[in-house]
Structure 1
């Protein structure tokens, strides 16, 4: 089947098997290996991406279900030269150890911060229940999300002041 998907702002058209999972399409057909395959049962969240702006587990969707949609992967939210505040937060607050779960944690957290720019520790922990980390114990992950929320709030304040000055 022919599938056309916009991934990280770039359109792709591919002929795919109807049963191909979105996670495998991203990794194998497009070479975007930041989205990880952890459990194949939607339990771990390592495969989390944004589909039309909402966090989804890409191991539970077929590539053909994403036809005509926008997909954002971890490669699409920041660059090495301009990290997303969540990427900076995970770096500065030591929110990762092995790093396997980190892309999914960041993608899930980005959705949280989109809807709740100032989450409590409990809000963060509840939102990340669908993401499993085997290394960290979550304390630094929560701190990383809080750090990013603060960075993003500061950026919004700076932009508001600059707009008022114009």
Structure 2
């Protein structure tokens, strides 16, 4: 069994993510956003779209302040810019639009993962490596297309707004 083709995967990610992100920002129009991140966990086929606003991050500031963290630490790379600290960590997975548009691709990915379970150890290692590389590459391309679509053009952003994509194991 062959894994899904990269162009098919990119198209599925983009067509599910853009309307999900548009819907999210419409629902949160009153917030000022400082970040949008896509975290790819390639080996599992996860594509987490996350965002954070000044308003949604306030509870994180409050929590870390109460535990004794300095504002410098809270507002630095380790907390503010860590998408796993964001309230909207995986906004796409909480969205019905994503679930509906991603469903058929998820089924294909799950069938392939099921196929992989029946491989020998060496075959599984090779298939997993191939799948992870494919999913990471497709996820990075999908991110570029999402950003290039202009989906962020009407979002209220802070002066230091950032958007980025990364593979989970490259950071954590």
Normalised by the length of structure 2, the TM-score is 0.25
Larger Rg: 2
Q: Which has the higher contact order (CA 8 A, sep 6+)?
A: 2
